Structure 1
Amino acid sequence: MNHQEKVLCIKRELLPAPWVQKKSVLNIDKNLFLQTCDQAGFEFKARGIIETDPSFKQIIPYIIIQTADRELTAAYLRNGSEQRLHDLWSIGIGGHINLKDCQTPSSFEQVLTTGMTRELDEELIKRPDNECPNFCGIINEEETPVGSVHLGAVFTLKTCDPDRFSPGPELMDFTWKRTETLAQLNLELWSRLALELIA
């Protein structure tokens, strides 16, 4: 983890209370989400400080890749910079949005979109150019140290050609799983919440 990296966050007290409950799984309109985050006033703070400060929520795009018929979902074993999630299966691709994703002046939507695109490009060596993520809602949990300082913005990316996706080194054991069998994996909590959201 780069402790000096400045990452996108919002003060918890400025977010709607239903978003930051012990367990929040909310289908909300994309425009409402973007407008609320814009009005709350997002900022960038050193990751090393706010990783242990639950008074801020780091906003994380969490992209689930599925076949168009939803029969298959991409999954991988955690092996990235977040040590606390290692050896858990995940269905979410994404990560912190940082200062380099922000052009001044910039709306929350611009920052989120730029950061999400960068994350996909970093995690996937190859992916179709014409398939874009669609916003589904938000997830939050306060049961784990990771969850207490992050808020997930969940997107789905539906593909007609799963063979055109090639994972980078951080997506260890990247594989397509039958969606109906995902619950049998040792999934990270966010993946379980995301599955509930998109069900």
Structure 2
Amino acid sequence: MAKDYQGEEILVVRRSLFDELGEFQGINADVDAYLPSLLNPENNFFMDRGAAEDDPSHKQLIPYCIFRVKDDQGTRYLHYTRGKSGGESRLHAQVSIGIGGHINPVDQREDHLGFDTYMAGVEREIDEELNIEGGHTNKIVALLNDDSNTVGQVHLGVVHMIDLENDDVAANEDAIANLAFTTLEELRGELYDRLETWTRCCVDVIEEL
């Protein structure tokens, strides 16, 4: 049974644009080769989410924010288990290090559908999903594509590295369960088999991002 998204509209680009820029599988850190075109208002537009979820001729632009803290305990990454109340039923119960979601019309700024609109959506998603005490920096470090499954075929991830001042972070949504910080060794060890595909892609190369 198809999920009712209640008329939600989300930012997309045509799959053909992604192919023209250079299709790839996995992580691509050459952000400058893709982002200006993807966030050009002439190339992106809002589309009904219900239609987009089953339409691989379009790619939904999804910020995928990784939260990192460096302190006397070393470098640790925020991770969580996706709960049943999350928006993507195909990812339930999987472990993720990515926070983010769709860019919606409410995020539009004066640049229409450009970089400012996109970043407004990113910060809105962070504020909705997490309660962060302390400052943070936000840097786009890579793009992420996985056409090996039905979820990945309709999404294109924009990977952000968020460096936190401290580890005082709490979840704002039931969809984010078991929130905690962990080391890269644990993510590549006992947790690895439970990681969602996008998180695996990031964990495999995270030192290079």
1:151 CA drift (Å): 0.4
Q: Is contact 1:19-1:139 (8 Å) kept?
A: no
Could you tell me which of 48, 67, 77 is aligned with 2:81?
77
1:99 CA drift (Å): 1.1
Q: Is contact 1:25-1:139 (8 Å) kept?
A: yes
Partner of 1:166: 170
Distance in 2 separating the partners of 1:3 and 1:48: 8
Trace 1:2-21 onto structure 2 (pairs within 5 A): 2-17=5-20, 19-21=22-24
Partner SS state of residue 87, structure 1: coil
1:86 CA drift (Å): 0.3
1:73 CA drift (Å): 0.7
Deviations 1:114-138 (A, max 9, x none): 110000000013342x312111110
Could you tell me which of 96, 104, 110 is aligned with 1:98?
104
Change (3 A) 1:93 1:38: closer
Structure 2 unmatched ranges of 5 or more: none
Distance in 1 separating the partners of 2:14 and 2:65: 23
Distance in 1 separating the partners of 2:132 and 2:27: 31
Distance in 2 separating the partners of 1:27 and 1:61: 14
Residue 143 in structure 1 maps to residue 148 in structure 2: yes
Letter in 1 for 2:159: V
Distance in 1 separating the partners of 2:160 and 2:89: 24
Distance in 2 separating the partners of 1:71 and 1:187: 19
Partner SS state of residue 71, structure 1: strand
1:187 CA drift (Å): 0.1
81-90 vs 33-42, which deviates more? Answer: 33-42
Trace 1:33-52 onto structure 2 (pairs within 5 A): 33-39=34-40, 41-52=43-54
Q: Is contact 1:20-1:141 (8 Å) kept?
A: no
Partner SS state of residue 136, structure 2: coil
Could you tell me which of 175, 189, 192 is aligned with 2:197?
189
Distance in 2 separating the partners of 1:127 and 1:42: 34
Change (3 A) 1:12 1:127: farther
Structure 1 unmatched ranges of 5 or more: none
**Root-mean-square deviation over aligned CA pairs:** 1.9
Task: State percent identity of aligned pairs.
Answer: 30
Partner SS state of residue 159, structure 2: strand
Normalised by the length of structure 1, the TM-score is 0.90
Q: Is contact 1:19-1:26 (8 Å) kept?
A: no
What is the aligned residue count?
195
Q: Which has the higher contact order (CA 8 A, sep 6+)?
A: 1
Letter in 1 for 2:202: A
Letter in 2 for 1:68: K
Distance in 2 separating the partners of 1:171 and 1:180: 22
1:192 CA drift (Å): 0.7
